[in-house]
Chains A and B, each alone.
Chain A
Amino acid sequence: MKKILLVEAKLHLRDVGTVVFSVVLPVALLLVIGSIPQMSEPDPAFGGERLIDTQLPSMMTLLALLTLAFTVLPAVLATYREQGVLRRMSTTPMHPGRMLAAQLVINLVLGVGAVVLLVVAGRLVLGTALPRLPVGFVLVFLLGAAALLAMGLLIAALAPSGKAAPLIGTSVMFPLMFVAGMWVPREVMPDALRVVSDYSVAGPFAQALRATWAGQWPEPANLVVMGAGLVVCSVLAVRFFRWE
């Protein structure tokens, strides 16, 4: 199992695009957008909070995880299935389920890498606060990452081919980013959109990240939606996953 992790990690790093889009891009966006002056001005629509305090870093954390869960993970797994990598493995004493596990771990680690960079770069370059409720932040991060990866696994399970998987992933990812408040913060969303947002897993994840960043415990409803997303998508992914 250690060796699969090691080899698969190397393969991910060899794919420069993966690392750039999932880890470097969110950090770069944080720094570029964060250096726009309006971002650092207290916003009355936000209750006086600055956009770089919690909204921007939370959205970039979400962006990193969405990219990993909805493009990287499904693309790799669906391609491995299409090329017979999983099938080949199932003729050895090592169950190909270990490959799935390795992919989940690697994407989680990349996500952790991205969030650490976001927090550190934000602190050092923009002078934003570290998450004020660190334990809550870590727990929310892990729950949200798990829920999104489970959704990605479901896409990998249903995708008809290695090429289709990231296309399907992206076409689910952009609407999710929108309802999660990437372009229109939740505070200024119309009511109907806010309802959709609150059930979108990505929306509650963003809210819970922002809450813990600001030092508050997240809304229980947000945690419930994320937990439900994790359970439902995991069960469906396991039910529909094909090895060949």
Chain B
Amino acid sequence: MKVIEVRNLHKRYPGHVAVDDVSFEVAEGEIFGILGPNGAGKTTTVECVAGLRVPDGGTVQVAGLDPRHERKALHRVLGVQLQSAALPEKIKVWEALDLYASFYPDPADWRELMERVGLAEKRDTAFAKLSGGQRQRLSVALALVGRPRVAVLDELTTGLDPQARRDTWELVEQVRDSGVTIVLVTHFMEEAERLCDRIALIDRGRVVAVDTPAGLVARVDAEQRVRFRPSAPVDDALLLALPQVREVSRSGDHVTVSGTGDLAASVTLALAGHHIVPADLRIEQATLDDAFLALTGRKLS
């Protein structure tokens, strides 16, 4: 069942078009990614979904509600984590949770939520004194305190160190497992690949493709590369005879084979046939970055 439906969304700012034509649907219970480079129009898109901006064209529905005219009902089913800091500097963690809980008719138990996002020890710490990761976790907790059906998380891990990022990813997965549908806005390929069930690739205000991460990667007939150090000399001809192989190059002891299809399997099989062991074997496969490049002709980051 779909919880969000965006049709031909269009939004202009004075002088330029931020969102040209964006359509997608989000199904109940999934983590839906909106992936694209900075300035692609991701934030503008989700702000229209959250009722913070009025679209210049197209329609948006969230759980059957129109964000323009049914704001109050919308805000009960949709929790939002905005891209920038949004609390008074001196407010304490528990006060923020308690306050936001009071905004909703049937809020979650904020103490439990505080535990869940790992901020119980920071209960009495002022917002300004929290680290980037702690702020983001508080922000996620605030987005969830009204027991929303859908949570929009915008650039959740931007600016976090790798450990904090992984912790935050785990939190997002837990939230999804608790039954909340998640719209995750990001410009990190790795984040989208790891978390999302489906992804809308957005570039210059347009949706380039909507698919699962694997589906997007499979669309690119991108070249793969296999690199290894053979245990005995290998003849180029042996490898070039394989239909998957396009090119063989060498540097020092290492051999790099480029090609398509199930390249790695066929190369290792051929080597095994000649009793050669590929040491230091490394396989470079296509990623969402490659998919983005192939679909738009531009790099994601």
Contacts and interface: CB of A to CB of B under 8 A. Distances in A.
B80 interface: yes
Interface string A86-120: 01111111100000000000000000000000000
Given A4-B99, A84-B82, A84-B84, A92 B91 contact: no
Which DSSP category, helix, strand, loop or mixed, fits chain A's interface?
helix
B75 A14 contact: no
A90 B47 CA distance: 12
A217 B180 CA distance: 63
A7 interface: yes
A83 B89 CA distance: 9
A85 B86 CA distance: 4
B95 A84 contact: no
A174 interface: no
Nearest to A2: B102
A239 interface: no
Interface in B73-118: 75-76, 78-80, 82, 84-91, 95, 98-100, 102-105
Contacts of B142: 88
A3 B103 CA distance: 9
A92 B84 CA distance: 16
Contacts of A15: 90
Contact of A90 (B52, B91, B99): B52
A88 B86 contact: yes
A11 B91 contact: yes
A84 B98 contact: no
Contacts of A88: 80, 82, 86-87, 142
Contacts, number: 61
B106 to A, nearest CB: 11
Interface in A1-56: 3-4, 7, 10-11, 14-15
Interface residues of A, number: 19
A102 B288 CA distance: 48
A178 interface: no
A80 interface: yes
B91 A93 contact: no
A83 B85 contact: yes
Given A3-B98, A11-B90, A15-B90, A93 B82 contact: no
7 contacts: A3-B98, A10-B95, A83-B86, A83-B88, A84-B86, A91-B75, A93-B104
Contacts of A11: 88, 90-91
B16 interface: no
Majority SS of interface residues in chain B? loop
Nearest to A98: B103
B50 interface: yes
A3 B82 contact: no
A84 B146 CA distance: 19
B204 to A, nearest CB: 25
A80 B87 CA distance: 8
Contacts of B52: 87, 90-91
Interface in A62-96: 80, 83-85, 87-94
A93 B80 CA distance: 12
A160 B260 CA distance: 57
B99 A93 contact: no
Nearest to A91: B80
Contacts of B89: 83
Contacts of B84: 83-84
Given A7-B95, A88-B86, 13 more contacts: A3-B102, A4-B102, A7-B98, A11-B90, A11-B91, A80-B88, A87-B82, A91-B80, A91-B82, A92-B75, A92-B103, A93-B72, A93-B146
Contacts of B103: 89, 92-94
Contacts of B86: 83-85, 87-88
B104 A92 contact: yes
A84 B51 CA distance: 15
A87 B80 CA distance: 11
A90 B98 CA distance: 17
A189 B182 CA distance: 67
Given A3-B99, A4-B99, A7-B95, A92 B146 contact: yes
Contacts of B88: 11, 80, 83, 85
